[in-house]
Structure 1
Amino acid sequence: MTTVQEAADRVAAPRPRGGIGQSVNDSLVVAKRNLIRMTRIPEMIIFGMIQPIMFVVLFSYVFGGSMQIGGSTSSSVYREFLMAGIFAQTVTFATAGAGAGIADDMHKGLIDRFRSLPMTRGAVLTGRTLADLVQTALTVVVLAVVALLVGWRIHEGVLKALAAFALLLLLGYAFSWIGALIGLSVRTPEAATSGGLIWLFPVTFISNAFVDSSKMTPWLQTIAEWNPFSATVQACRELFGNPGVSASDAWPMQHPVLASIIYSILIIAVFRTLAVRKYRSAV
């Protein structure tokens, strides 16, 4: 009788999930936890939106009349040229926040609490990066509204514009894994913030985001054209139908959409592997 009952209990009991299913579920649980935390600290979201809006206003109205794009010095032309770069800068600058958040969790011992739970190791980082991606998407939506107000327009239809935003979010998600690795490699959230921004400035400014890269010196132009950041900016300009699509012979500039996807996937593959490995050794 006991044997029969035990067999029935084994059949009735739910089987524990493993592999990809368990990892996805754990990642979503961690992402939900981080999203709830963000809603309880609204200033995190508000301050994250203020910076890109300031960049739009400052670059549009302070530098707009001094920039020559396609032979035109019109500020309206420069605003349309600029917005793809501002969008890309916004999603990549979220890297610093991702790194600081993970460093803060490490510093407070929250990661040690996760270790006591029956969850996959990589889920802690994946959930965090997914939550940051949601926050970044919200910032991009607000920024797009501001851009429309200052004169930016799309000229290739809604579907292509959505594809451009998808590329932006893919790039932002890829860079968030760089931030995760930085957050795991430093001792304090302050160091993670500083470390997350130092390398971003040359990446975003040695590019085609704010100026025409063809006007740079040859060696600097080569760096800018092969910069993964530039590929996404170029792809967005092409999909938005904005001015400034370069006639460069560099492969990423000739095939920016494909180059953007390849760059982002490679960054995710490399830095997710390194971050998860660092996480396992750190805890």
Structure 2
Amino acid sequence: MSTVTQASLFAGRNLRRFFRAPPALIYSFAFPVLLLLTQYAVFGRIVGDGDRQHYLERLAPLVVLSTAAFGSPSSAVGFLRDLTGGLVDRLRVMPVRPGALLVGRLTGDVLRIVLIGVLTTAVAMLLGFRFRQGAAAVVGFFAVLALFGAMWAAIALWRGSGPGDEESLPPSLTGPATLLFIFSSGFVPVSAFPSVVQPLVRANPFSTATEALVGLSSGGPVLAPVLQTLAWVLGLGGVCLLVAVRRFARRTAR
């Protein structure tokens, strides 16, 4: 079989394992929905009736993006289990290209992120969120989510292939993801932050991706934030993936 075929089999394996794990399934779907509902209920009331719709137009894309970041700990733990649970040893005696496991896990994670993002977006639409830029923009909206998800999937591979155990991996990813989520332009306007940190907030990958999704859904700049998000994906995601590949290659060396 070709590497693509083998990778698709591993991607399917990861998705099946996800759907067959009720606790992970419930958490993955419920967390972003509850986050959206609570944040909208609390902060939507603070901004007032006249700005609730505008706030939802920015909050919903941010919460959709959070499905990628806050799902990365489980992806890292899953990859660590693959490395330490005997799967790699079995691959050594099978006609399987080692890279297919990495590609399959990355692909499966991205598909899972997009699926959860679609559900979260559907809930947001029940609250009043709308796509106002046409069908092509809707496709672009979820394409940006997939790119953002690929970056976090690569980060999960990097973290899962490095030092640590199943208990230490989640905090090392959840903490940075939470800080990026809070200090982003989707959570509160950039102007609300102290001027000294505003450049960092604007450069935050959550901010660039949120601005891209806002532009594709409600209107506004699209090209610049998409290119900035792509730079994060290729830069940070590419480095993490490269390190993960090198670590994995050492483990699978025959």
User: Shift in Å at residue 205 of structure 1?
Assistant: 1.8
Q: Does 1:30 align with 2:7?
A: no
Task: Please state if 1:171 is matched with 2:148.
Answer: yes
Question: Could you tell me which residue of structure 2 aligns to residue 146 of structure 1?
Answer: 123
After the TM superposition, which residues 130-209 of structure 1 pair with which residues of structure 2 at under 5 Å, given as runs? 130-209=107-186
| 1:53 maps to amino acid | V
Q: Which residue is 1:108 aligned to?
A: 85
Map of 1:85 onto structure 2: 62
What is the aligned-residue RMSD (CA, Å)?
2.1
Structure 2 CA distance for aligned equivalents of residues 106 and 96 of structure 1: 15
Q: Distance in 2 between matches of 1:272 and 1:122?
A: 11
Question: Equivalent of 1:121, from 98, 104, 110?
Answer: 98
- Tell me which residue corresponds to 1:268: 237
Q: Which residue of 1 aligns with 2:19?
A: 39
Task: Decide whether the 8 Å contact of 2:184 with 2:207 is kept in 1.
Answer: yes
Contact 2:208 2:226 in 1 (8 A): yes
1:134-167 CA-to-partner distances (Å, cap 9, x unmatched) read 2112211111111011111121122112201110
| Aligned AA (1:105) | D
Is 2:65–2:117's contact at 8 Å kept on the other side of the alignment?
A: no
Partner of 1:226: 203
Query: After the TM superposition, which parts of structure 1 deviate over 4 Å for at least 4 consecutive aligned residues?
Result: none
Does the alignment pair 1:51 with 2:31? Answer: yes
CA distance in 2, matches of 1:157, 1:209: 22
CA offsets 1:180-236 (integer angstroms, 9 cap, x no match): 110111342222222221221122222112110122112211101112221111011
Larger Rg: 1
Identify which of 166, 187, 199 aligns with 1:210: 187
The answer to whether the Cα contact below 8 Å between 1:121 and 1:276 also exists between their aligned partners in 2 is no
Q: CA separation in 2, counterparts of 1:35 and 1:266? A: 27
- Distance verdict in 2 for CA 1:73–1:254, change over 3 Å: farther
Matched residues in 2 for 1:29 and 1:100: separation?
Answer: 20
Secondary structure at the aligned position of 1:74 is classed as: helix
Give the match's secondary structure for 2:167: helix
In structure 2, list runs of 5 or more residues that go unmatched.
Answer: none
Shift of 1:73: 5.5
What do the CA deviations read for 1:87-128 (whole angstroms, capped 9, x no partner)? 111222221121111112223222222232222222212111
CA distance in structure 2 between the partners assigned to 1:55 and 1:137 by the alignment: 17
Q: Distance in 1 between matches of 2:39 and 2:155?
A: 27
- The number of residue pairs the alignment matches comes to 252
Q: Which moved more, 1:201-210 or 1:108-117?
A: 108-117
Is the CA contact 2:184–2:206 (under 8 Å) kept in the aligned structure 1?
Answer: yes
Counterpart residue identity of residue 35, structure 2: F
Normalization by structure 1: what TM-score? Answer: 0.82
Residue in 2 aligned with 1:280? 249
